[in-house]
Amino acid sequence: MTAEAILFYVFGALAVVSALGMVLNLRNTVASAMSLVVTMVSLGAIYLLLEAYLVAAIQIMVYGGAIVVLFLFVVMLLNLSTDEFPPGKQRLIKLAFVIAGVAILAQVLIALGQDPLLTAQPEAVPEGFGGYRQLGLSLYTDYVLLVEMASLLLLAAIVGALILAKRKID
């Protein structure tokens, strides 16, 4: 059991526990958002273990530092912090959903454990893998169109969010 594997299991367990904490928390929305932050940061740590360094930094900065702050902002502005919905009349359907979901997950996990590609050891990583130089080179030579499309998408999102959040369009 190398140190990497131990760290992966620790962060993986933390990610699963905080994801469950986010979904199962029935009273406090802010606590759900904080559990989501813990999930994001542990996933960032797992990306570091998988030698994707720039992606890990961007995950913590963008997901953990901006997107969930946006959630918290909306929750605090609208004072939505407590969840007081009465129990629904569809409990059986939800239970069926959960059982079906867990069954499918069990099937997927069994299939993953028998796959020869995944159970083999991954080969050593080449020099410069996952660093910002390689990603920057690739982004601006092979995938430059993706960068332009991403900027257009973000522009559309900014305009859309502005219009949706205005009180009246004058």
25: left (phi over 0), alpha (psi -120 to 50) or beta: beta
- Site for other proteins contains 10 (CB under 8 A): no
- Site for other proteins contains 38 (CB under 8 A): no
Among 10, 45, 52, 145, binds other proteins (CB under 8 A): 52
Give least dist CB 170 to other proteins, A: 16
- Site for other proteins contains 154 (CB under 8 A): yes
- Cα–Cα distance for residue pair 21/32, rounded to 1 Å: 7
28: left (phi over 0), alpha (psi -120 to 50) or beta: beta
- Site for other proteins contains 170 (CB under 8 A): no
Binding residues for other proteins, rule CB under 8 A, total 108
Q: Which letter, b or e, does each residue of 53-62 get, where b requires 16 or more Cβ atoms within 10 Å of its Cβ?
A: eeebebbbee
Lay out the site mask for other proteins across 108-127 (x = CB under 8 A, - = otherwise): xx--xx-x-xxxxxxx-xxx
Among 10, 45, 58, 144, binds other proteins (CB under 8 A): 58
- Site for other proteins contains 144 (CB under 8 A): no
| Residue (of 3, 109, 4, 18) closest to 47 by Cα position | 4
- Cα–Cα distance for residue pair 79/169, rounded to 1 Å: 24
Find the binding residues for other proteins in span 66-105 (CB under 8 A).
66-67, 69-78, 80-81, 83, 85, 88, 94, 97-98, 101-102, 104-105
- Site for other proteins contains 134 (CB under 8 A): yes
Residue with tokens 């969840």: 83
